[in-house]
Amino acid sequence: MEAQDCQAAAMPEPPRPPARDCLAGWWDMVERNLRSFPHSCSTLGRKIAALYDSFTSKSLKEHVFPPLIDMLIYFNFFKAPFLVDLKKPELKIPHTVNFYLTVEPGVMLGIWHTVPSCRAEDAKGKDRGWYEAALRDGNPIIVYLHGSAEHRAASHRLRLVKVLSDGGFHVLSVDYRGFGDSTGKPTEEGLTVDAICVYEWTKTRSGITPVCLWGHSLGTGVATNAAKVLEEKGCPVDAIVLEAPFTNMWVASINYPLLKIYRNIPGFLRTLMDALRKDKIVFPNDENVKFLSSPLLILHGEDDRTVPLEYGKKLYEIAHKAYRNKERVKMVIFPPGFQHNLLCKSPTLLIAVRDFLSKQWS
């Protein structure tokens, strides 16, 4: 009975159209597609032609050189030291915590906060909240903006952080976008935004404790860019330390060790300048310092071959001439033996920094 009920309830099949009707419908569809085919081909052809024109309108060097210059300026793809867990700074340096700061959608910065060594015992077992609250303890704070290549766990950077921590400073070691485990792609504008974001984040949590921007090499350009923007906003930074600074990226690039050997190639310098202009890479320390009022300390080694001492001296002369209060600008030159990355080994570095900042902040 159930089977009979199901059969009775089933809907009758619709009548099938004659075969010639199906064939006619299929042929109509083919005709429509054939009629639209020339238009589709024409559209595709125009797109291919546009791409071809776009590519051939530039020389091969224009396609290759800007990305190559980006790699040489930032060198962020070289993420040494390798096999380091950046989430666990305590494996590399004591009384330090790792945290992340979101700058904008898609950009998150990795930062290590090292407290002064005098607070090492207090810091044991503490979480990020404790470290953040410690920024108000009255010990001065340094936002450290490193140079190109590697990341915040590089040995020479850790050595400097330890010296500063032993000297009573909080140190926030920042990996810009695209460096270390920070997300995003490095650009001059982006690195500047990163520095401003970290500085302002720190100032809102430090109370009356002073905060200093410390830039090394490439980081000097980031520091003065950020300081100029903050100056224009009416919030000059509490102090700036420039370690091994250049005047601007154009001058620094033509003396960059990896590029020096190509300077005599016809057209090389013009191509280099065009690439820097295209990617908007300037880092104009020599122009930025003309607009600053913050205490400015320049540190440079006599035997620095990466950024020769003459550039640091030139930058000091420009700043000293531009500053109304000449006592706010100082330069300290270190004897041979420390080259580009190891001023932290000088026994007089900490003395020079503390002496300058204490006078400015008194």
Number of H helices, E strands in the chain: 14, 8
Task: Kindly tell me the sign of the dihedral angle through the C-alpha atoms of 355, 227, 214, 279.
Answer: negative
Q: At which residue do the structure tokens 């776009």 appear?
A: 54
Residue-level length of the chain:
362
Tokens of residue 192, six digits: 């500047």
- Looking at this protein, which amino acid is placed at residue 290? K
217 catalytic per annotation? yes
Q: CA-CA distance, 153 to 99, in Å (whole number)?
A: 14
| Residue whose C-alpha is closest to residue 152's, from 126, 132, 176, 129 | 176
**CA atoms of 78 and 86, how far apart (whole Å):** 15
Of 95, 216, 304, 346, the catalytic one is 304
DSSP, collapsed to helix, strand or coil, labels residue 207 as coil
Q: Which residue has the tokens 């202009």?
A: 277
Q: Tell me if residue 127 is catalytic.
A: no
Within 8 A by CB and 6+ apart from 328, the residues are: 293, 294, 295, 296, 360
125-130: long-range contacts at Cβ-Cβ below 8 A with a sequence spacing of 24 or more?
Answer: 126/97, 127/97, 128/97, 128/99
Give the active site residue among 148, 151, 340, 346: 340
Report the SS3 class of residue 208.
Answer: coil
Of 148, 217, 253, 346, which residue is the catalytic one?
217
What lies within 8 Å, CB to CB, of 72 at 6+ separation is: 253, 256, 258, 259
Q: Which residues have a Cβ under 8 Å from the Cβ of 175 and sit 6 or more positions away?
A: 86, 109, 110, 111, 146, 151, 152, 181, 182
Beta strands 296-301 and 239-243: pairing type?
A: parallel
Using alpha carbons only, give the angle 62, 64, 66 rounded to the nearest 5 degrees. 70
Q: Which residues are catalytic?
A: 217, 304, 340
